[in-house]
Structure 1
Amino acid sequence: MWFFLHYAERILSDSAVRPCEDNVSTPDISRLKIERSASGQIAGTGRSKRRWLRIVLLLAALGLGASVALGRFSGKAPVETVTVALSYPSQSYTLLNATGYVVAQRKASLSSKATGRLEWLGVLEGSPIKKDEIVARLENRDVSATLGQAQANIKVAQANLDQGQAELADAQASFQRTGELLAQKFITAAAFDAAQARLNKARANIAGYQAAIAAAKANAQVAQVALDQTLIRAPFDGVVLTKNANEGDNITPYSSAADSKGAVVTIADMSTLEVEADVSESNLSKIRVDQPADITLDAFPELHLAGTVSRMVPTIDRSKATLLVKVRFSDHDPRVLPDMSAKVAFLSKAVPPQDRQPVTTVQASAITTRDGKPVVFLLEGEKVRLVAVTLGRKLGELVEVQGVKAGDKVVLTPDAKLQDGAAVSLNKK
């Protein structure tokens, strides 16, 4: 502080003396003139200016000195902090990381081959459905009537067959009697021939009746298929993802008509969920089929699921120079949904069960030694507390520790002079 005051005094003294020194070689008699004000008093303008300049410089020096002193003698050491976090040991097995999306390999948009008005819809988004379960129904009274008519035709054909079989039985009995009478010479050969012709005709009628029954059944089957096409069924077990139509909408096979809908609902088999990730072709040497992987979801960062590389699409995306790799889930979780963003860590080996749980880690530079023991300085308010820790495995740039918990803030690269209970200030960069 005295240095700044002394420096200000020198500035004032130099400014007072310098004008005289500059004109030593050239005397000026006019400078001996005494200036007076209008009232006849001697003017002191120059002296007053120098006095005020001195005061301003003194105040500036005091302010500057006080700020320096506060920063130097406050006793708070500037430090940087880092947060203790939870990490997974599988990070040490990671060969490559990639991003992708969850997709269902078994997915279908359910629609009808028939055209009609949607009369009933029995599911909503998220509804679980079973295979062959009726999801929706189109208006089908006309098709039902056609089916009833075809089934009635079957009965008519069956009745004709029954009548034909009765005629066949009578013709056979008549033929047998005429044969016996002809042997006894009681009837002519013409009567016998007529009985045989009647028998052949009855047999032919039976064949016709049977063909009519087959045709009637075929027509009934056609009508039944047409009726079934108005019933939209689930092709496999799954969950309804989207509902694309409502009751009263017109449904057409290809949605070609105006104001009509094609698919009624979209379903997916959740057991076939996979992650599709793009891997740069320069890293293909690190990927192989059946390679273990660790899958995390952006929606649930704390959720780590085991996976396996199921297949690699044998073509390169020329525009991105990437290969599509599909990773199936070994662990299934109901929270996993299609189209979720996911991160895939391709591992060098499968993660053992003991490494599936997260551990407390901190950056290695936050750990120091005191009395030969590893410690960290835990930030508590504006002071630090020395905490002894137990070191574990090294996970990349992190070290597993015990003695602190996730979320604690510790000093990064603590100074050798930093002691327990010392007051600190955060070094803002």
Structure 2
Amino acid sequence: MAAPDISKLKIERGATPSAPLRRPRRWKWLAIGAVVLAVAGALVARVGGGKADVDIVTVAQAWPSQNYTLLNATGYVVAQRKAALSSKATGRLEWLGVLEGSRVKKDEVVARLENRDVSATLGQAEANVKLAQANLLQGEAELADARNAWQRAQDLLQQKFIAAAAYDSALARYNKAKAAISAQRAAITAAQANARAAQVAVDQTVIRAPFDGVILTKNANVGDNITPFSSAADSKGAVVTIADMGTLEVEADVSESSLSKIRIDQPAEIQLDAFPELRLSGTVSRMVPTVDRSKATLLVKVRFNDRDPRVLPDMSAKVAFLSKAVPPEDRIPVTAVQPAAIVQREGKSVVFVVTDDKARLMPVMAGRKVGELVEVRGLKPGDKVVLKPSDKLQNGQPVAVTKK
């Protein structure tokens, strides 16, 4: 047998294998991971784990008296009896016995001017009164002596022991003594009048409280020159300003188009800007019968039914004119929220309270309407709740507050 020819067998070094190449497996795993993450994100969003954009409102403290309000107006607290105390006399302020906030009684001495000059005049007038009274006593003694002399002369004339001329002289002396008595009594009256005038001048240097009240302002200090009308340079007119706190009222401007809603003795509620939590009962006392043409408003005065020592003149105030007096049970504030914050979940009224950037479901009990709000129990004023929560919002879900 002939041997096989292997000379034609050889390996081609540059030849390309005909089998297909395998792709790397890592692209396959990346695609699978992306799908898994997408599904997981969808599941998380479905169960409420993603942040939800929400609007929030604050739980407020509301007053049921809002349900009786017909009209609101603004104004200021004004003392209806108020006085700037000064003196009719001119002088230097020597003594001041009050400060701002001091309470004084009627006729109590508030301040005193230097009064040595008018006091000296008063002393002189009182001395003139005494002198006139002494002259009257002397005149009465002379009158008694003249009367006795005239009576003796009359007896002697009847007995023809004296001449008629002597009798006439005694009678003239008696009549002159009587006339002197009348003049001396008139002199006493004049001296007493001068003394009263001097006393008035002294009294005018003493400044007294015209009524019970509180000192509002102190306009002068000891040593200042006081003049009646403060016309001189470096002088003061009023020493202090006093107000009767029992006459405090609120003066509010009401548009003339709303006057049909207001009447005398109408109940009202007064709220002070300085004390928002304070609501005081009031009554319309009077309406000034003049319309301000520039503002088309009428001045309405509301007196306080409830007195509070914190109320001071010139405080800003809001007045609510009511349809009827507020019952005692409606004068207590309640917790209220906007109706859109309350939703139904599983047959219960709930709200979502936002704490730590999460919405916490909280059951509440809704009550009556208070103005535009609804009374709720289970919340406290100041809580932040979600406004118009969606059906997908879940308890404990993180939220992002949308700025309005």
TM over 0.5: yes
Q: Report whether the alignment pairs 1:129 with 2:104.
A: yes
Q: Which amino acid aligns with 1:405?
A: K
* Alignment: residue pair count: 364
**What's the counterpart of residue 228 of structure 1?**
203
Amino acid at match of 1:149: Q
Cross-structure match for 1:367: 342
Task: Tell me if 1:382 matches 2:366.
Answer: no
CA distance in 1, matches of 2:286, 2:112: 38
Question: What does residue 318 of structure 1 align with?
Answer: 293
Separation in 2, partners of 1:172, 1:353: 87
Q: Deviations over 1:19-69 (max 9, x none)?
A: xxxxxxxxxxxxxxxxxxxxxxxxxxxxxxxxxxxxxxxxxxx9xx99xx6
Aligned residue number for residue 239 of structure 1: 214
Q: Does 2:243 match 1:287?
A: no
Q: Secondary structure at the match of 1:200?
A: helix
Select which of 97, 119, 126 maps to 1:144. 119
Determine the structure 2 residue equivalent to 1:356: 331
C-alpha displacement of 1:399: 1.1
Aligned positions of 1:93-172 closer than 5 A: 93-172=68-147
Provide the rounded CA distance (Å) in 1 between the counterparts of 2:211 and 2:274.
Answer: 28
The answer to whether structure 1 residue 425 and structure 2 residue 400 are counterparts is yes
Output the amino acid matched with 1:275.
V
Deviations 1:70-104 (A, max 9, x none): 99675233322222111111111111111111111
For 2:54 and 2:271, locate their aligned partners in 1 and report how far apart those are by CA, in whole Å.
34
SS in 1 for 2:239: strand
Residue 259 of structure 2 is aligned to residue 300 of structure 1: no
For residues 187-229 of structure 1, the C-alpha deviation after alignment (integer angstroms, 9 at most, x for no partner) is 4443333333222222111111100000101111111111111
> What code does the residue aligned with 2:115 have?
N
Structural mapping, 1:4-403, within 5 Å: 74-403=49-378
Partners of 2:348 and 2:167 lie apart in 1 by: 125
| Aligned-pair CA distance for 1:413 | 1.7
Moved more, 340-349 or 363-372: 363-372
Deviation at 1:160, TM superposition (A): 0.5
Deviations 1:90-135 (A, max 9, x none): 1111111111111111111111111112222222111112222222
Structure 1 residue 143 displacement after superposition:
0.7
- Which amino acid counterpart does residue 145 of structure 2 have in structure 1? D
CA distance in 1, matches of 2:109, 2:94: 13
- Matched residue type, 1:255: S
What is the CA–CA distance in structure 2 between the aligned matches of 1:89 and 1:193, rounded to whole Å?
102
TM-score w.r.t. the length of structure 1 is: 0.80
CA distance in 2, matches of 1:428, 1:310: 46
For 1:364-417, what per-residue CA distance to the aligned partner results, in whole angstroms no more than 9, with x for missing partners?
111122333322222332333333322322112111121211122222222234
For residue 231 of structure 1, what is the amino acid of its counterpart? Answer: V
In 2, Cα distance between equivalents of 1:426 and 1:369:
22
Distance, in Å, in 1 between the alignment partners of 2:325 and 2:181 is: 73
Partner Cα separation in structure 2 for residue 332 and residue 176 of structure 1 = 79
Output the amino acid matched with 2:62.
Answer: S
1:408 and 2:383 are equivalent in the alignment: yes
Amino acid at match of 2:119: S
CA drift at 1:300: 0.8
Residue in structure 2 matched with residue 58 of structure 1 by the alignment? none
SS at match of 2:93: strand
Partners of 2:398 and 2:218 lie apart in 1 by 62
CA distance in structure 1 between the aligned counterparts of 2:217 and 2:198, rounded to whole angstroms: 31
In structure 2, the residue corresponding to 1:263 is in which secondary structure? coil
Identity between Structure 1 and Structure 2 (%): 74
After superposition, the CA RMSD in angstroms is 2.2
Distance between the aligned counterparts of 1:311 and 1:326, measured in 2? 6
SS of aligned partner of 1:369: strand
Cα distance in 1, alignment partners of residues 382 and 401 from structure 2: 17
Q: Which has the higher contact order (CA 8 A, sep 6+)?
A: 2
With normalisation by structure 2, the TM-score equals 0.84
SS of the residue corresponding to residue 66 of structure 2 reads helix
| More moved, 143-152 vs 230-239 | 230-239
